[in-house]
Chains A and B, each alone.
Chain A
Amino acid sequence: AQSVTQLGSHVSVSEGALVLLRCNYSSSVPPYLFWYVQYPNQGLQLLLKYTSAATLVKGINGFEAEFKKSETSFHLTKPSAHMRDAAEYFCAVTGAGTASKLTFGTGTRLQVTL
């Protein structure tokens, strides 16, 4: 069984500031981990994924995440926020394998202010 906890349902940062969105997971098997972004009235878009290769994963739009097994974490970061980054972000986990259901966190809404 897998589960995901996203700390902070809302995060607000200034444009140009560091973005840090937290994700902790629980998994009884080696996990694959994902971050998805959802813009208003749109579907989920994959930002990045960890599939047991490099622990530091780089994704689209300047985002990256680091898999830390000892901390069971997969936090999402971006050095400098942009207004277009305002959206809902979801962390998800699945068991390692080719096809398996995703278990999502409750999401973090990122607000970017001037």
Chain B
Amino acid sequence: GAGVSQTPSNKVTEKGKYVELRCDPISGHTALYWYRQSLGQGPEFLIYFQGTGAADDSGLPNDRFFAVRPEGSVSTLKIQRTERGDSAVYLCASSFGHEQFFGPGTRLTVL
């Protein structure tokens, strides 16, 4: 299985709680992206890493959202004080060049 993997596949949490979403990119892919897909919408960009550093975090909606990629491979998206409006599918993609390969996503539900 050489594709992008994401865990957990589903996460249900209560309003105000903290959550972490994990992405395991394709081995050797230097770029990693996080997107958020709300019901009936296309994916929306959140943040992009080139190696260990965040090259573009302009899509993060507010300071409750944070992401890391400490060793240039696995990435974790962290959401503090979750709100019901954070409910969505969070997609991760990795690339080597311009083609992005997507994982299956994590469905986050905030009650």
Contact = CB atoms under 8 A, between A and B. Distances in A.
Given A99-B31, A102-B45, A104-B42, A43 B102 contact: yes
Given A99-B48, A99-B97, A106-B41, A44 B102 contact: yes
A99 B45 contact: no
Interface residues of B, number: 28
Interface string B37-54: 000111111001010000
A97 B44 CA distance: 19
A43 B103 contact: yes
A57 B31 CA distance: 25
Interface in B19-51: 30-31, 33, 35, 40-45, 48, 50
B43 A99 contact: no
Interface string B91-111: 101010111111111000000
Contact of A43 (B33, B41, B91): B91
Contacts of A101: 33, 45, 48, 56, 59
Given A90-B42, A99-B50, A102-B43, A32 B98 contact: yes
Given A43-B103, A43-B104, A43-B105, A98 B43 contact: no
A37 to B, nearest CB: 11
Contacts of A24: none
Contact of A104 (B30, B31, B44): B44
Interface string A30-54: 0010001000001111100101000
Contacts of A107: 40-42
Contact of A105 (B42, B59, B100): B42
Contacts of B35: 102, 104
B99 A103 contact: no
Nearest to B101: A46
Closest CB pairs A-B (n = 5) = A104-B42, A44-B102, A99-B31, A101-B45, A43-B104
Interface of A: 4, 32, 36, 42-46, 49, 51, 90, 92, 94, 96-107
